[in-house]
Structure 1
Amino acid sequence: MSSQQPTDEPVYADRVYRSSMGVVSGVLLLALTAWLCGDAVLRGSGNTPWIGLAVALCAVPLIVAFTIRPAVFANEDRMRVRNPFRIIELPWAAVDAVRAGYSAEVLAEGSKYQLWSVPVSLRERKKANRQQMRRNAIDRRDPGSSGDPAARSRTSAAASEPMRANADRIVDELQGLAELNAARPGAQGSVRVRWSYEIIAPALIGALLLIVLVATR
């Protein structure tokens, strides 16, 4: 009779990073598609209902793929990147760097993978930089906050948390997880990439059906 030995390490839930604006946009686009295609199916004549169904079959997977689907899941062992048409699993030991330039991306084993769910906003980055410069100027003018210990504590805490754009903050967190956990036994391995045929197949079928229906109309 074998007994399972308990592990000393706690189990943590995945951190999930996704774009809230992308999800909202996706829901609105899906509602608009359902309204337009549903109206074509219910009120159309001839091939119009079939064209409406073909458009929905093609458009719905693409809308989901580019808005609701993208996400990054990270735990102590690996990062899983869910992009529109691919899922990339990256053990932390295989990650070379996570960075944000004009887009957020991860470098691993000589390849580069975009993080679709972490959009980079240059406007937000400039705004954060301006706020940080303004705060630094205030700290230089009044470093002691009139000798008030509580004010000095607040000033010190604020100074230790620099203003960062959301994408830069997320990239910093992921880079920190990679550096912290790269030596873990569970974080070893190579990058695995899987194509999301559940998104690709219906979109292609809908597009082909739409082409045939329009050509034979």
Structure 2
Amino acid sequence: MKRTYRSKTAFVLAWVWVAFVAFNVYDLITRYSGKPSLVALAVLGALTALVYAVALRPATVLTEEALVGRNPFRTTYLPWASVEDVTVSHSVNVHYGDERVLRLWTPMSSARERAKAQRRGAPAPQRGRFRTEPTLSKGEQAAVEAFAGKTHADYVGEQIRERAESARRRQEEAAPVRVTWSYDAIAVLVVAVALVVAAIVV
């Protein structure tokens, strides 16, 4: 089963930015005023290229065959049998052949999120003689226990580790790791650079 993980907050804010840029580009084109409009377009283009590279594009994709790490300008296809270890700090780090490490851009865990997860994992203080806590169903209780003390990055790291261990149990052969450039992000960057050059030259 294919699963895609990314920063939901960054993804939503990026699309809000894209909508803002689309409105402003339309306004600048309909009310074109020469160099000032070109400069404004160049600024919007440069910021949009940055937003696309760091907020819209990054994703961690778990497919049946491999882990796909989409970072700003590169995509890494890492077959499950090639995964040797997974560690989680502020990011998910996937270790594979020759002591190489794939650092996934998303999801990441901040110090604040980790502290919140640790508080969530701690037992609730009991006050007074009578307890008024709601009774959880078995499914809800299992979910609470599964996420106790864990961030989203920890959860994704566990998913990667489980799929890699499953591939090893099936004795799958380690296929070659492929790293490709992100031509879409490069194209967006080239357009932004072209707008900046045009704003300077014209």
- TM-score category, normalised to shorter length: 0.7 to 0.9
What stretches of structure 1 of length at least 5 have no aligned partner?
1-12, 139-144
Per-residue deviation at 1:194? 0.3
Aligned residue in 2 for 1:133: 122
Pair 161,102 (structure 1): closer, same or farther in 2 beyond 3 Å: closer
Going from structure 1 to structure 2, the CA distance change for 1:99 and 1:34 (only over 3 Å counts) comes to: same
Contact 2:46 2:189 in 1 (8 A): yes
- Structure 2 gaps of 5+ residues are none
Cα distance in 1 for residues equivalent to 2:29 and 2:195: 15
Residue 18 of structure 2: which of 22, 26, 30 is its match? Answer: 30
Counterpart for residue 179 of structure 1: 165
Shift in CA distance, 27/205, structure 1 to aligned 2, threshold 3 Å: closer
Q: Deviations over 1:158-189 (max 9, x none)?
A: 78535022211111111111112235466621
CA gap 1:130/1:45 in 2 versus in 1, 3 angstroms: same
CA offsets 1:69-102 (integer angstroms, 9 cap, x no match)? 2211113321111111111000012112222112
How many residue pairs end up in the alignment? 192
Question: CA 1:162/1:33 → structure 2, altered by over 3 Å: closer, same or farther?
Answer: closer
- Partner amino acid, structure 2, of 1:133: A
Q: Which residue of 2 aligns with 1:122?
A: 111
Q: In the TM superposition, what is the alpha-carbon distance from 1:157 to its structure 2 partner?
A: 5.0
Whose radius of gyration is greater, 1 or 2? Answer: 1
Determine if the alignment matches structure 1 residue 39 to structure 2 residue 41: no
Scaled by the length of structure 2, the TM-score of the pair is 0.78
Residue in 2 aligned with 1:196? 182
Paired with 1:191 and 1:99, the residues of 2 have a C-alpha distance of: 19
Runs of 4+ in structure 1 off by over 6 angstroms are none
Pairing of 1:53-68 with structure 2 (within 5 A):
53-68=41-56
What is the CA-CA distance between 1:64 and the residue it aligns to?
2.1
Corresponding residue number in structure 2 for 1:165? 151
Partner residue of 2:81? 93
- What RMSD over aligned residues (CA atoms) do the two structures have, in Å? 3.0
Aligned 8 A contact 2:91 2:106 in 1: no
- Report the Cα distance in structure 2 between the residues aligned to 1:69 and 1:187, rounded to whole angstroms: 30
- Pair 184,194 (structure 1): closer, same or farther in 2 beyond 3 Å: farther
